[in-house]
Amino acid sequence: MRRTLPCLFLALSLPVAGVASAKSVSYTIDPNHTYPSFASDHMGISKWRGKFDHTTGTITLDRAARTGSVHIVTEVSSINFGLAALDKQMLEPSFSGPMCKEHCNFFDAAKYPQAVYDGKLTNFVNGEPTGVVGKLTLHGETRPLDLRIDSFKCIPDMMQRTRERCGAEASTIFDRSKFGIDAGQSFGFDMNVALQIQVEAVQDP
């Protein structure tokens, strides 16, 4: 039995090891395990936190060449603060009220339904990327936005063990007013948003 277990483990691992050594591997993002989340200032006294419930995309990875790419599409209408009234308000084009000297621009999801991120995996350490150099398209604006990869790991997928499932935690901070989403700026809100991305992707057949 002791001899059988190492042999079984080796048999399960070989297909994945073979995949990993391939020149380039493509992965499809698992939307059920990928939820970009964010934290933004509320009048300087607290942080509002939310997430987006629907994200799709693709990732490529070439460990030998230390290269890869990321393409992520997030549906803006899937925003979720845990407060339906706030979700609805954030999807509107703008808001006029006591906290806006003129008007406050929100996501305007009807006009700009998607946020799209494209980037290149960089700074590989022991075969794993530690950063992404890319650009974000949000609210009709496209601007550079780099990510720090805080953790990255690939394992045999539990359901399809001849394929890899890779997961990562990535983060960055950006100024939302640069994308035209300036609600609260005239009232003194901090425009910096902390973005945290949990992502899992499964190797394509």
Ordered structural domains, the chain, with CATH: 4-203 (2.40.128.110)
Distances (CA, A) of 173 to 8, 39, 45, 85: 45, 10, 19, 26
Question: What dihedral angle (degrees, nearest 10) is formed by the CA atoms of 154, 155, 158, 163?
Answer: 70
Q: Are strands 79-80 and 35-42 parallel, antiparallel or unpaired?
A: unpaired
* Distant-in-sequence, close-in-space partners of 80: CB < 8 Å, separation ≥ 6: 50, 51, 52, 53, 87
Give residue 204's pLDDT: 96
Instruction: Look up residue 85 and give its DSSP letter.
Output: H
Give residue 12's pLDDT: 36
C-alpha triplet 31, 62, 28: angle, nearest 5°: 15
Per-residue pLDDT of the chain (205 residues; tens, 9 = 90+): 444 434 333 333 333 434 444 589 999 999 999 999 999 998 889 999 999 999 999 999 999 999 999 999 999 999 999 999 999 988 988 765 555 555 578 899 999 999 999 999 999 999 999 999 999 999 999 999 999 999 999 999 988 778 999 999 999 999 999 999 988 887 888 999 999 999 999 999 9
d(CA 54, CA 76): 8
Give residue 102's pLDDT: 55
Query: pTM for the complete prediction?
Result: 0.83
Distances (CA, A) of 143 to 5, 79, 171, 173: 52, 21, 16, 13
